[in-house]
Amino acid sequence: MDVLRLVADGAFALLGAAILLRWTALGVLSAVDWLRRQGEGPPTEPPGGWPRVAVIIPAFNEEAVVAGAVRSALSGDYPDLEVVIVDDGSSDRTGEIAADLAEDPRVSAITMHPNQGKPAALDAGIRAASSDLVVTVDADTVLARDAVRHLVRPLLDDPGLAAVAGNVKVGNRSGPLTILQSIEYVTGLNLGRRAQHVLGCITTVPGAAAAWRRTAIEAVGGVPDATRIEDTDLTIRVQRAGWRVVYEPRAVALTEAPNTLRGLVAQRTRWIAGYLQVVWLHKDGLFRYGALGWLGLPDLIYRNVLAFVLLPLIIPAISRVVTAFSWAALAELVFGLLAFDLVATALAYVEDRERAREILWAPVRRIVWPWFLAAVLVRVLIIEVRRGEVPWAKVRRQGALARASQEPEGPRIIR
């Protein structure tokens, strides 16, 4: 019995050390990226001038937000821009709004019937574009004024780049639910993407704000429709084909996050189901393809599968700390971990130039968020067993961010 207890204690200690080491590595690597970028000026105009760029905006039942996405792109400072709106068989006024917006000569609208899904809509928009460089923007997302320049410039410097990932932030932070999501974007996504950029193993170029080389997309057969998260799948496919991707934190876009629990559950159900699909689809890439297979894919598996599977081990670990030591020792351990997480969150917020006030919510997120996502994973598995496939749930948009983006000061965070 003592031997088993000793083995269990050793396993818990090694697991905890590995998780802390991962957090530390992410923090150090993100800091390296941040320090490297200090002193960078605005993107300079290339010798031949700025090439034409197409902004592709797929939209399905997005009448509340699509105009904001289009107008934010048009009001940016990029000199040669076309916007392609793809109405993917909407049943609301999205098509009508797209047609009205297409009265601007810089805008064109495509209507697809019936609804064919986001990958098909993106492919249709890319085919209709007159440029090899395309920027993808979700209909619920607005671009900062200089975002397109920052997204495009790395592609002009390096013909081996397939894509540039933008810095997507939550734009509607008017309540606890959206603030917790904002912390997740800044720390869980963007801090991690900085680290992956240093290592050369970015696993997701977010569809909400990214620049792509059309030839790279065509080289892998177009936008894939094999999963619920086409952006992650496409990112991995182009890297397996020999292309590279990078992250540009100055290319800022604001997205409308779900502000109801029902909407958040629907969104995360799709995301987690999609990650499970991607992990299974690219399992043969593990420990191949350089940093992507040795670091990127294992981290993707940990963040979206193993972290939730291991979460219940917290309960016996707590029991063991209490029995072996005391409740005071447990309190010291918990407060120490929360303090560590608070420091990591503060680092991410400094790097992203975010308001410090939100950092105070970090302990709440650390305690609540993993259990919430683990519950969503269980929901996904139940749906898969019962129905065989997780449906593409539609999140109802409120449009406050889109309306604010059309004000004279341009896109801004709603607090």
pLDDT at 379 over 60: yes
Higher pLDDT, 255 or 336: 255
Name the DSSP class of 38.
Answer: T
pLDDT at 120 over 90: yes
Q: Where are the alpha helices (DSSP H) in 286-326?
A: 291, 297-301, 307-310, 314-324
Higher pLDDT, 284 or 8: 284
pLDDT of 154 reads: 97
Unique residue bearing structure tokens 């599977």: 309
**pLDDT tens digits for 258-292?**
999 999 999 999 999 999 999 999 999 999 989 99
Q: What angle do CA 300, 303, 308 make, to 5 degrees?
A: 135
Higher pLDDT, 317 or 242: 242
Task: Kindly provide the b/e burial profile for residues 303-327, where b requires at least 16 CB atoms within 10 angstroms of the residue's own CB.
Answer: bbbebbeeeeeeeebeeebeeeeee
Over residues 148-176, the mean pLDDT reads: 96
pLDDT of 311 reads: 86
pLDDT of 400 reads: 82
pLDDT of 265 reads: 95
How far is it, in rounded angstroms, from Cα 217 to Cα 213?
7
Structure token pair of residue 386 = 């019962």
Higher pLDDT, 69 or 401: 69
- Whether the pTM exceeds 0.75: the reply is yes
pLDDT of 1 reads: 55
Share the mean pLDDT of the chain: 92
**pLDDT tens digits for 180-199?**
999 999 998 989 999 999 99
CB 195 within 8 A of CB 29: yes
User: Hey, CA dihedral for 282, 288, 292, 298, is it positive or negative?
Assistant: positive
How far is it, in rounded angstroms, from Cα 154 to Cα 43?
9
Structure token pair of residue 29 = 């690597």
Q: 62-66, 99-103, 247-251, 355-359: which range is least confident on average?
A: 355-359
Residue 382's contacts (CB-CB under 8 Å, 6 or more residues apart) are none
**What is the share, in percent, of the chain residues with pLDDT greater than 70?**
99
Domains annotated on the chain, with CATH:
43-260+398-405 (3.90.550.10)
**pLDDT tens digits for 25-47?**
999 999 999 999 998 889 999 99
pLDDT of 77 reads: 94
